[in-house]
Structure 1
Amino acid sequence: MFTILSQAFNRTARNLKMVLTVFIVNIALGLILAVPLYNVLQVEADSSIEFNRLINGFDLTVIIDFLNKSGKSLPPFWLLGFVLSLIYLVLNIFFAGGILSQFALRGTFRISEFLKNSMQYFGRFFLVFLIEAVALVGVCIVAFILLGVSLIASGDSTEPVQMAWLTPSLLVSGFLFTVVLNIGNYAKVILFKNLSLNAWLGFWKATSYIFQNFKTMRIYWAILVVAVILVLVYLFLESAIGMNSALKIFVMFIVQQAFVFGRVFMKMWMLSGAFEYLTLKPVPIPPSPVLVVSGSTETADNTSNKLSE
């Protein structure tokens, strides 16, 4: 497992230009929303010092007061945020083909080739996303049922007893969510390596492959643990540094961008882990039968024998 993790990490690190390209796109999408929203907040605050209270931490009373006074100016930004979220989602699906192509080529990163390869696989990967989304909806339904049963069973019990009932449901729900997300990664790699498969068959083969090779989940969870550690480090730095001076605000801005870069790197590392595992242990795909038309009975017999083997 550690060999695959290290190889997948190295494969991602070798393609730093690609990681930076996706990172810059993420930053650009964030700025499209952040800059006009900041300007509106400045205008609506009208030189008020109330927002300075947010420097020391989240204050719900300030947010509620602002929404009561200036909430009418924000609906366009909710719509813009929703649209940008959809664009972000589509771009992540779009880039997957280019990322896998770059992993396979191991050549110099070229943005034109990256975009070309991204476009080539976008349609099939988008269908995988739709299948994955349906599966996640099913997982959500199962999770709500499990949590509902746990809450009903615990009834008016004490908080520790309720947590004891809820913990298994939360663990099962988290397990199912991560399995579906990992299946999505493996489905993309399987479709990338086997052009003859359609999206549904690729997703099905990824599902059976993961349950037959459960080490794939341990690899996914290991990277997920690193991601959680990264979040904890960020929260620690945020509380330790603070934002009560221009210098500290600048330092936190750098930390935030480093965190976004780390998040992009982690997502590529997960995809690289799936690519590495499937390279070492490919999915067995039966070859399509090839019919050979020949006047020779012997040739026809040989072909029939090969197909039957």
Structure 2
Amino acid sequence: MNVLFTTLRQTIGSVRLLWLIYGITLVLGLLVALPFYNTLKIEDQNSLAFLNLLDGFDYTVFSDFMHRSGRTISPLMSVGRWLGILYVFLSIFFAGGILLRFSQPNTKFNGEMFWQGCTHYLARFLRLFGVTLLFVLVGAGLWLVVGSLVGISLSDTLTERGLFWIGAGFFTLFALTATLLLCIGDYAKVLMFREDGHNAFRAFGQAGRLVMRNLGQTYGLYWLLILLGTGLFGLYFLLDEAVLMSGWLTILIMFLIQQTLIFARVSLKVWWLGTAYNSYQTLPKPTPASRSTSLVEPATEPDENTPLTALEL
């Protein structure tokens, strides 16, 4: 827990980094939101039915609108899906810069150093993402396949409630396995960063041994931040129920609450990666990967004015 609070102080001290990532997220969201809003404004044809959506989701209004204007909205939905892929890419891209920031906690945030850290580790972190995704699809997806087969084989003997609990049980196993593998993937990032490793499979295996030997200090903290993020979503839904969007003032209030939640999510992601970095330094290390260069552990502590290239980037 000391690591968690130490990293929280470092995260709060990196507020410029948080605003930078949040700003990029906001701009990308507006690239889709503004055309989507303009299209909706044209397609609603001044219908008052959309006012019903201010008090909550109305499936009838949604289905009628999609039946009439689905062809116009579909391209924007496709852009939204591509934007989701871009968000995943950016999370991988930012990881190197975030880890570089936490490796130098006593220096001021340097934008140039951050971008160089992002680009320097991008290729190896993309390979690691592919390895992590492979393990998630095979390891965690196996539970969904087995659950489906069990449900089909018992469909004639169990009630709907029994089938529901079987499905819930296998989905829980899927969620636990997937989050464990994602946690291992994040520690593999830290390992590749600290040891300057390039082999994604080797790093994932070493990180897996590290996490499994220290579940409470690694996976436990990972789930703690997941629950914290879930609590923030629960709080948002409670506020959404309490604040009825009946005018521009209440709409503005909910917009500010939504943006606060997005900023909190960005902070949680940075906080977690920093927690993994600091935890790695205190845990018994796996067999280190061979390192050819040194980025974050030079002979002397780096000066904030020293360019990243001078640290053998």
Same fold by TM (over 0.5)? yes
Equivalent residue, structure 1, for 2:300:
none
Correspondences of 1:13-162 after superposition (within 5 Å)? 13-106=12-105, 107-152=107-152, 154-156=154-156, 157-162=158-163
The residue type paired with residue 255 of structure 1 is I
| Displaced runs of 4 or more, over 6 A | none
* Inter-CA distance 289–252: structure 2 relative to 1 (3 Å threshold): closer
More off after superposition, 279-288 vs 250-259: 279-288
Return the alpha-carbon distance in structure 1 between the equivalents of residues 146 and 197 of structure 2.
39
**1:266-292 CA distances to partner (integer Å, 9 max, x unpaired)?**
1112111211110112524358699xx
| RMSD, aligned α-carbons | 1.9
Equivalent residue, structure 2, for 1:229:
231
Q: CA deviation at 1:162?
A: 2.9
Q: CA deviation at 1:197?
A: 4.2
Unaligned runs of 5+ in 2: 293-313
* Inter-CA distance 229–287: structure 2 relative to 1 (3 Å threshold): closer
Instruction: Please say if 1:217 is aligned against 2:226.
Output: no
* Inter-CA distance 195–62: structure 2 relative to 1 (3 Å threshold): same
Q: Is the 8 A contact 1:129 1:184 kept in 2?
A: yes
Q: Is the 8 A contact 2:207 2:286 kept in 1?
A: no
* Inter-CA distance 223–77: structure 2 relative to 1 (3 Å threshold): same
Equivalent residue, structure 1, for 2:298:
none
Return the alpha-carbon distance in structure 1 between the equivalents of residues 97 and 215 of structure 2.
27
Equivalent residue, structure 2, for 1:283:
285
Return the alpha-carbon distance in structure 2 between the equivalents of residues 183 and 234 of structure 1.
29
Which structure shows the higher helix fraction? Answer: 1
Equivalent residue, structure 2, for 1:241:
243
Return the alpha-carbon distance in structure 2 between the equivalents of residues 232 and 192 of structure 1.
35
Return the alpha-carbon distance in structure 1 between the equivalents of residues 188 and 194 of structure 2.
10
Return the alpha-carbon distance in structure 2 between the equivalents of residues 286 and 190 of structure 1.
8
* Inter-CA distance 270–286: structure 2 relative to 1 (3 Å threshold): closer
Return the alpha-carbon distance in structure 2 between the equivalents of residues 141 and 208 of structure 1.
21
TM-score, normalised to structure 2, is 0.87
Q: Is the 8 A contact 2:11 2:267 kept in 1?
A: yes
Q: Is the 8 A contact 1:190 1:283 kept in 2?
A: no
Name the count of aligned residue pairs: 289
Unaligned runs of 5+ in 1: 291-309
Q: CA deviation at 1:171?
A: 1.9
* Inter-CA distance 287–202: structure 2 relative to 1 (3 Å threshold): closer
The residue type paired with residue 96 of structure 2 is G
TM-score, normalised to structure 1, is 0.88
Correspondences of 1:163-242 after superposition (within 5 Å)? 163-215=164-216, 216-242=218-244
* Inter-CA distance 282–194: structure 2 relative to 1 (3 Å threshold): farther
The residue type paired with residue 178 of structure 1 is T
Return the alpha-carbon distance in structure 2 between the equivalents of residues 287 and 102 of structure 1.
22
Return the alpha-carbon distance in structure 1 between the equivalents of residues 110 and 63 of structure 2.
48
* Inter-CA distance 98–213: structure 2 relative to 1 (3 Å threshold): same
The residue type paired with residue 136 of structure 2 is L
